[in-house]
Amino acid sequence: MESAEDQNGKWGVTNRADGFLLAIESSCDETAAAVIDRRLTVLSNVVSSQHELHRDFGGVVPEIASRAHVRRIIPAIDDALRAAGVALDQLSAVAVTTRPGLVGSLLVGLTAAKTLALSLEIPLVDVNHVEAHLFASRMSAGREVFPAIGLVVSGGHTLLYDCVSATDFHLLGSTIDDAAGEAFDKGAKLLGLGYPGGPAIQRAALSGDAGAVRFPRPLIDSPNLDFSFSGLKTALLYEINGSSHGRAVLRDLPHERVYDLAASYQEAIIDVLAAKCRRALVRTGRTALCVGGGVAANARLRERLKSVAAELPIELVLAEPALCTDNAAMAAMAWELIDRQLFAPLEIDVTPGLLRPKR
């Protein structure tokens, strides 16, 4: 397989280095394309969400997601270029998420990106989706934010990183079972609140009492930086079933009880996230915390992390809500990779896990 050096040698950095980057993201259930310039100005950010296709299932169905990406990817790219007022021949590079994610979904974006890179003779840059979630906080800040501790909280991942630079991330901890977003989605399903679960629980929690039910805080006192959320979901199920000896009685629960359960459940997830961030900051001595991923849009989490930041004190860098959930603009971290001449060979494949395949 061709090495990065060979590829760089073939293409050079690009003779349109100050032009525009087209970024493509299709790792899960959003088909997204964005155009970003070298100063990280987002000229367009098109996100075609598939929530309506997956709602009845209470979660993303991989086969449905990849089929929808196939139909939507070219319109999303066209829309992004048109909205940015940028023509294909003004592009300097194409960035694409290659990992982690659903293989069928990732393949659609990668195929589109490879086709454009090859036909336009511009570099292809592979982006790690969770690192891009962290880079979203740097874009929102509008200035350098690394080194920092990075928390990625999404539907598929709950990860704590030591971010040495925008391209050098060291994993400190991760979930041993469900991700935080998954806990929100499954909890909302149990409570009959709909999909996606995070925004639904946040809404319901506003009318509830977060102290009504004392849910467990899994691993909160363990010295490691790992997370576990699956037991929390089981605890919620027991609360819903109550004294019915295991038979679901959701329809019999008064609205107020549902709101209290939503608020208490949300608080338990957030308590653990806040405690682990605090521990990572204290342990490493880092003075900044960057947060990204869909769950980072949660208003209560943002509030709690602000308290942690004020108490330590450290600098808190939250991705703005529009850049928390999946989007292609955050793949602007490709500019950092371009600066370091880290391009992808055209043979690059997708991978469902976090690691880039060996070349």
Interaction site with ligand KG4 (CB under 6 A)? 28, 154-156, 181, 184-185, 196-199, 202, 293-295, 297-298, 325-326
Tell me whether residue 96 is exposed, middle or buried, using C-beta atoms within 10 angstroms of its C-beta: 0 to 12, 13 to 18, 19 or more: buried
Task: Give min distance, CB of 214 to ligand KG4, in A.
Answer: 21
Task: Residue 141: name the closest of 315, 284, 338 by CA.
Answer: 315
Identity of the residue, 162 or 326, whose beta carbon is nearer to ligand KG4 in the bound complex = 326
Identity of the residue, 288 or 323, whose beta carbon is nearer to ligand KG4 in the bound complex = 323
Task: Give min distance, CB of 326 to ligand KG4, in A.
Answer: 4
Identity of the residue, 148 or 297, whose beta carbon is nearer to ligand KG4 in the bound complex = 297
Task: Give min distance, CB of 38 to ligand KG4, in A.
Answer: 25
Q: How far apart are CA 258 and CA 250, in angstroms?
A: 9
Taking CB under 5 A as the binding criterion, the range among 14-22, 50-58, 91-99, 154-162 that sits at the site for Zn ion is: 154-162
126 binds, options ligand KG4, Zn ion, none, Cβ within 5 to 8 A by partner type: none
Task: Give min distance, CB of 210 to ligand KG4, in A.
Answer: 14
Identity of the residue, 173 or 293, whose beta carbon is nearer to Zn ion in the bound complex = 293
Identity of the residue, 29 or 338, whose beta carbon is nearer to ligand KG4 in the bound complex = 29
Taking CB under 5 A as the binding criterion, the range among 39-47, 71-79, 94-102, 318-326 that sits at the site for Zn ion is: 318-326
Identity at 74, one-letter amino acid code = I
Q: Which residues pair with 49 in a beta bridge?
A: 30
Identity of the residue, 192 or 345, whose beta carbon is nearer to ligand KG4 in the bound complex = 192
Q: How far apart are CA 63 and CA 67, in angstroms?
A: 6
Q: Which two tokens stand for residue 345?
A: 């060979």
> What SS3 class is residue 293?
coil
Query: Would you count residue 326 as binding Zn ion (CB under 5 A)?
Result: yes
Binds Zn ion by CB under 5 A, chosen from 128, 154, 158, 264:
154
Taking CB under 5 A as the binding criterion, the range among 56-64, 280-288, 321-329, 332-340 that sits at the site for Zn ion is: 321-329
* Residue 9 to residues 4, 22, 95, 259, 341, Cα–Cα distance (Å): 8, 22, 18, 59, 10
Q: How far apart are CA 265 and CA 269, in angstroms?
A: 7
Query: Would you count residue 30 as binding Zn ion (CB under 5 A)?
Result: no
Task: Residue 329: name the closest of 25, 4, 53 by CA.
Answer: 25
Contacts of 124 (CB under 8 A, 6+ apart): 93, 94, 95, 96, 113, 114, 117, 343, 344, 345, 346, 348
> What SS3 class is residue 40?
coil
Task: Give min distance, CB of 260 to ligand KG4, in A.
Answer: 18
At 297, which helix (H) or strand (E)? Answer: none
Task: Give min distance, CB of 204 to Zn ion, in A.
Answer: 23
Identity of the residue, 231 or 345, whose beta carbon is nearer to ligand KG4 in the bound complex = 231
Q: Residues interacting with Zn ion, by CB under 5 A? A: 154, 326
